[in-house]
Structure 1
Amino acid sequence: MAVAAQKSVASLMRKTLDRQAAVARVKFRFKERQVENIIVNYVKDKSFGPYGELVKVLQDYPLTDENFKILIEDCLSCVVLLGRDMKQFVDILCNVQWASRSQQLVELYIRFLLSLLTAHTYHCPLVLTNLVKKFRVEGENWDEHPPSETVAVWSNIHTIIAQIVAIMPMTSDLLMQTVIEQFPYYKAGCYCNRAYIHNLIWMSKYIPSLREHIVTAIVSRMVEMDSNIVDRAKNKNQSELIFEMETDEQDELSVTLDYCMLEMLRWLEEERDPALVTICNVFERVVLPTHGINAPTGSSATCGWWRRAGGGGGCGGGHPAHGRGAPGGLLARCVRVPNSRLVQHLRAMAEWCHGYITATQESTSSDNTKVHGAFHAICHAVSRAFAGVTRAHQVAYCQAILDRNARHQLHAHAAPDHLEHWFPSGKTIWPLCIEYKDWGKDGEDNQYSGMKRKLEPEEDDFLSAASPQQKLANSLSNFRQ
């Protein structure tokens, strides 16, 4: 009861203050050239009294359209006086409400801001910071598209940013630095992060020179979110006691990451090939080298990653081994990988493995998994066929290891229906995926067992005159059919 009474009193006081502010706003009115005279007297004669009152008014009271028009017109008339010493006043002008006003007033504000930056380029960091900050907002999450009123406000902000970069191209680097610095903290909430990413994608469309840098910043932040989710899940598994608040926080972070992924997926859907090239470059540079994430892959065009992940055909180099398994999962689960391409990549993987074995035997005898991570990962991408062939030729018996690993990884295969219900991005991702099935179950007549029979030779086949290396190549050549 006491808490409810306190909330009621606080609500009443808030309404009273809002009403008083509204009355003050109606009574308050600038006269023409009043602001200009105050600025001139302050700069030339150091008349602080009227200037201090002007600053307080602009900080404390919202402006009517009429007062806003007089303020900006007067500032435009004396823009040459708004030098370094007027940084506080410029900051106030950047924070007045302008983006939601009429088109005529928005255009007036844009003209003022461009004149200000042309006359005083050292205000660029301040202005760009204030513009980018407006994308870090609080609000209600949206389903398909943001509300039209919100989009209109964002559009006005993007118009200014685009014109600043067009007039002063050198500001693009500063803009990119500002974008990274102002990126919301990953705990800031779903709407704040999603809105920011939505607007960064928007920005990448009219400043193509920054596209890859912007996508890199977005993916880097999403990787950070994913890593934190994984770390918290590990901590939860290690401890039986976990506060409910921490669980809710983890769920909120998962939802935030998923909606950010949804924004990226829609961008890929809209932009198609140009966006795919960009995201492939960023994926290779940012996601593959990152340890401890659950990164998905999304298009058959990315199958070529395995070559670079393996070091381009040489020994060593490339990315850490944990990232090299992605192409195998992509080949196995993506519905858009045609059989011809599947055969092509499996053949290339087999040839690469042969070359790697030869090169490694000549250079080193190390059996360190970290050193040969690419080889292990690429062998894993055709692992069951690999196990069948190596067993048939008495090269190695690794089926038991595969079965043990499969038991450890079963928990990772969640039902698609559950994920689609929990994660909105599932509606986009799961139609592109083949449902997971364990092709290695004993006694099951399925695609894998048929392929296995096709690959397995006769019992005495390994006694023939051909060398084991030739037999391995002949067996793997069945993929060509």
Structure 2
Amino acid sequence: MSLHTSMSVVTSILKPFSSAEGYRATSVTANKVRFSSPKERGLAESVRVALEEGNFHPVKEFTNFIRQAEINDDEFLLIVKDAKRVVHSLTPDFVHVIECLLSLNWKNRSFEIIEAYTEFYIDIMVTHNIYLPIGISKLIVHWIPDDLDESDWVNGCPSERTRLVLKPIHEVLNRILTAVPMAFDLVIDAISAKFPYFKKPAHVTSGYLFNVLWIIEYKPIFEELILQLVVQKLLVLDVNAPRDEIGSEIDDEDDKMKADPLLQIDDLSADTLAGTGRTLKHPIGKTLDIGLLMLYRFFEGKCRIHQNSNDQQRWTANRLFKMLLHIFDEVLLPSHNTHHVQFVLFYVTSIRLAYSEAFLDLLWKKVQNPNISVIIRHAAVGYMASFLSRARFLPLSLLLIFRMVIFYLKELSKWAHNYIDDSGEYNQTCSLKAHLVFYSICQAVFYLIAFRARDLTASSKDLLFLQSLQLSRLAMCHLNPLRYCLAPVATAFAGVTRTYQLAYCHTVLERNARRKLATVYGHDKCMPEETLESFFPFDPYLLKLSNKYIKNNYMVYQCNDKDDYMDGSTNEPLSRKRVDSEIIEEDDFIIADKRQKHLELPKCQESDEQFHFGSFPGLNL
């Protein structure tokens, strides 16, 4: 028997269609409603459906599409052209799609796209003013560099590629401001709101600051508001970058360089600091340094007048200085615990002598005005004393009829003597609060004479001038100003006046020391001794990069060899011991240890370290 095998046929479980049934199925599929994608429908069609049919669903889908999709150049150009075609129909009902359109990344696109997008941007801002806050804010956001763009920003200067990318943004903003004047207030508000947080990396803040100053170039009407905003923001950096932290960093670097001769740089000027990488490591201090460097550059270009400068340039420079003086009066003078921002005034006043005169005249009027707060008057005196002491560019030569330092030293002394006369000999109320301005002016006179002793005692005529100030009456009056002065100031002033036989103050200093001892230990409760708050705003400049604009005009302390001894016949250095911290063993106001100076230094060198505060700004206690 033969076995026959046969293959069984496997049939599909799906019912086969006949030709007629297949035709009918195809026809049903073709007749069904098909929805196009947002990309296919386009913005213009979506807006038409919303306006004519009241169906905003396509607009929402298109909004989500441009928010999430990666749009190529062709699609981008098509969307922008559609938006420009229906710009008049884009009422506030379409705010969400408009916000997405204004948020598109258009900076790095082709020239054709940038031009088309610019035209749409201007049209939507002019046609619908309701979108101005959104549009201006979206433009200014482009000013903020990314955290990873540090290589494109070197000390506040953008690379050429970055500058080309930013240029169209400023052109759009310029056209908006020209076409819509009501946008000016919105721009200021947006600039202030978008200013980077003070702890952001230095290149982020400096990059934004570069764009903020750029707007002044094509819209000078913003000058005063922009400069005031910049000063306020730099003040935030200044108060968060304490001198002691920056100073300790510099001291550590100096010690490291002294320990390793290979690290020493013969000419470490501010111009070479960037090239050597010797910038501040303190993050906020570094940001402040670069920000002030940019501000100095700005005023250098605007206020520096050359021989070939025309009348328009001179007028612009003077107008800008008046703005800066007003900003100082409104912002800087009332500010407390600032260290470096005020040097903007120091630098600008060094450009022209007339600026220095105007600055000192403003301060002196503040001091004399009894209707102004005593705190402001006290601050104004501190600015005067520090400026007159530190400004190398102020005339002091006998060849000049108007000697600014001597003029104000005379005026300050005259005011103090008049105050003593008006207070009455029998008025024994020596309260610091009651006579704050008087004690501030006396300390300013003592500080000026101690600091400028070498210049003020250079000739017999100068000594005659100092004698005319009646310093002995000033120091030994019933109000006892030496009691409230800072100990280094009082000690240095006493040393200078004793050397040149102008006044003998050491007896008063010792009596004040005994009186303080009785005050502290004569009661059950120890009360702190009242002392004038030290405020010398132009104390040594610690920032590295921007120091090149300050150092050539800045006067460091120069000790006077004649002050080294009480008289010429003795070899003992000036030393007055006191029973407490008010009188220090050595005259640290001028030099920490004069015996060490004679052993180590061949000649008294110019060093400001002996003439600035340790715990107080300005003097080394």
Give the Cα–Cα distance (whole angstroms) in 1 for the partners of residues 210 and 328 of structure 2.
19
Match of 1:165 among 177, 181, 187: 177
Report if aligned partners of 1:333, 1:434 keep a CA contact under 8 Å in 2: yes
Match of 2:81 among 64, 73, 78: 73
Match of 1:383 among 446, 449, 454: 446
Match of 2:372 among 317, 324, 338: 317
Match of 2:324 among 276, 279, 290: 279
- Aligned residues between the structures: 399
- The alpha-carbon distance between structure 1 residues 74 and 259, as it changes in their structure 2 partners (threshold 3 A), is same
Superposition deviation, residue 72 in structure 1: 1.0
- The alpha-carbon distance between structure 1 residues 335 and 183, as it changes in their structure 2 partners (threshold 3 A), is same
Report if aligned partners of 1:379, 1:386 keep a CA contact under 8 Å in 2: no
Which structure 2 segments of 5+ residues have no match? 1-36, 249-279, 304-316, 451-465, 492-532, 567-621
Match of 2:187 among 175, 178, 182: 175
Q: Residue in 2 aligned with 1:15?
A: none
Give the Cα–Cα distance (whole angstroms) in 2 for the partners of residues 413 and 285 of structure 1.
19
Between stretches 135-144 and 208-217, larger displacement belongs to 135-144
Match of 1:92 among 97, 100, 104: 100
Report if aligned partners of 1:315, 1:360 keep a CA contact under 8 Å in 2: no
Report if aligned partners of 2:412, 2:445 keep a CA contact under 8 Å in 1: no
Superposition deviation, residue 62 in structure 1: 3.8
Report if aligned partners of 1:190, 1:259 keep a CA contact under 8 Å in 2: yes
- The alpha-carbon distance between structure 1 residues 186 and 439, as it changes in their structure 2 partners (threshold 3 A), is farther
Which structure 1 segments of 5+ residues have no match? 1-27, 237-248, 446-481
Q: Residue in 1 aligned with 2:595?
A: none
Report if aligned partners of 1:229, 1:253 keep a CA contact under 8 Å in 2: yes
Q: Residue in 2 aligned with 1:430?
A: 551
Q: Residue in 2 aligned with 1:125?
A: 133
Report if aligned partners of 1:194, 1:260 keep a CA contact under 8 Å in 2: yes
Report if aligned partners of 1:289, 1:320 keep a CA contact under 8 Å in 2: no
Give the Cα–Cα distance (whole angstroms) in 1 for the partners of residues 423 and 122 of structure 2.
63
Q: Residue in 1 aligned with 2:588?
A: none
Alignment deviations for residues 113-140 of structure 1 (CA, whole Å, 9 cap, x no partner): 1211221111111111111122122220
- Structure 2 length-normalised TM: 0.57
Alignment deviations for residues 378-401 of structure 1 (CA, whole Å, 9 cap, x no partner): 544442565875675444257795
- The alpha-carbon distance between structure 1 residues 114 and 384, as it changes in their structure 2 partners (threshold 3 A), is closer
Q: Residue in 2 aligned with 1:396?
A: 475
Give the AA of the match of 2:173. I
Alignment deviations for residues 313-359 of structure 1 (CA, whole Å, 9 cap, x no partner): 33351625235422333333333333349713531452255246536
Q: Residue in 2 aligned with 1:269?
A: 300
Report if aligned partners of 1:226, 1:294 keep a CA contact under 8 Å in 2: yes
Report if aligned partners of 2:387, 2:538 keep a CA contact under 8 Å in 1: no
Q: Does 1:83 align with 2:91?
A: yes
Give the Cα–Cα distance (whole angstroms) in 1 for the partners of residues 241 and 391 of structure 2.
25
Q: Does 1:44 align with 2:52?
A: yes
Q: Does 1:114 align with 2:122?
A: yes
Q: Residue in 2 aligned with 1:454?
A: none
Give the Cα–Cα distance (whole angstroms) in 2 for the partners of residues 444 and 414 of structure 1.
27
Q: Residue in 1 aligned with 2:283?
A: 252
Q: Residue in 1 aligned with 2:231?
A: 219
Give the Cα–Cα distance (whole angstroms) in 2 for the partners of residues 441 and 368 of structure 1.
36
Q: Does 1:210 align with 2:218?
A: no
- The alpha-carbon distance between structure 1 residues 210 and 384, as it changes in their structure 2 partners (threshold 3 A), is closer
2:392 partner SS: coil
Q: Residue in 1 aligned with 2:358?
A: 304
Q: Residue in 2 aligned with 1:289?
A: 334
Give the AA of the match of 1:313. Q
Q: Residue in 1 aligned with 2:210?
A: 198
Give the Cα–Cα distance (whole angstroms) in 1 for the partners of residues 401 and 446 of structure 2.
18
Give the Cα–Cα distance (whole angstroms) in 1 for the partners of residues 91 and 299 of structure 2.
43
Give the Cα–Cα distance (whole angstroms) in 2 for the partners of residues 328 and 196 of structure 1.
35
Q: Does 1:54 align with 2:32?
A: no
Give the Cα–Cα distance (whole angstroms) in 2 for the partners of residues 391 and 341 of structure 1.
22
Give the Cα–Cα distance (whole angstroms) in 2 for the partners of residues 163 and 337 of structure 1.
45
1:425 partner SS: helix
Q: Does 1:336 align with 2:393?
A: yes
1:325 partner SS: helix
Give the Cα–Cα distance (whole angstroms) in 2 for the partners of residues 413 and 114 of structure 1.
47
Report if aligned partners of 1:72, 1:109 keep a CA contact under 8 Å in 2: yes
- The alpha-carbon distance between structure 1 residues 88 and 392, as it changes in their structure 2 partners (threshold 3 A), is closer
| Matches for 1:144-155 after TM superposition, within 5 Å | 145-155=157-167
Superposition deviation, residue 312 in structure 1: 6.1
- The alpha-carbon distance between structure 1 residues 324 and 207, as it changes in their structure 2 partners (threshold 3 A), is farther
- The alpha-carbon distance between structure 1 residues 436 and 67, as it changes in their structure 2 partners (threshold 3 A), is farther
Alignment deviations for residues 29-74 of structure 1 (CA, whole Å, 9 cap, x no partner): 966x832112222343344454333222322234322222111111
Report if aligned partners of 2:378, 2:437 keep a CA contact under 8 Å in 1: yes
Q: Sequence identity of aligned pairs in percent?
A: 20
Q: Residue in 2 aligned with 1:4?
A: none
Q: Residue in 1 aligned with 2:197?
A: 185
Between stretches 220-229 and 302-311, larger displacement belongs to 302-311
Report if aligned partners of 2:202, 2:287 keep a CA contact under 8 Å in 1: yes
Q: Residue in 2 aligned with 1:474?
A: none
Give the Cα–Cα distance (whole angstroms) in 2 for the partners of residues 100 and 370 of structure 1.
62
2:384 partner SS: helix
Report if aligned partners of 1:303, 1:327 keep a CA contact under 8 Å in 2: no
Report if aligned partners of 2:206, 2:287 keep a CA contact under 8 Å in 1: yes
Give the Cα–Cα distance (whole angstroms) in 2 for the partners of residues 440 and 276 of structure 1.
40
2:242 partner SS: helix
- Structure 1 length-normalised TM: 0.72
Give the Cα–Cα distance (whole angstroms) in 1 for the partners of residues 200 and 558 of structure 2.
38
Report if aligned partners of 2:419, 2:438 keep a CA contact under 8 Å in 1: no
Q: Does 1:346 align with 2:401?
A: no
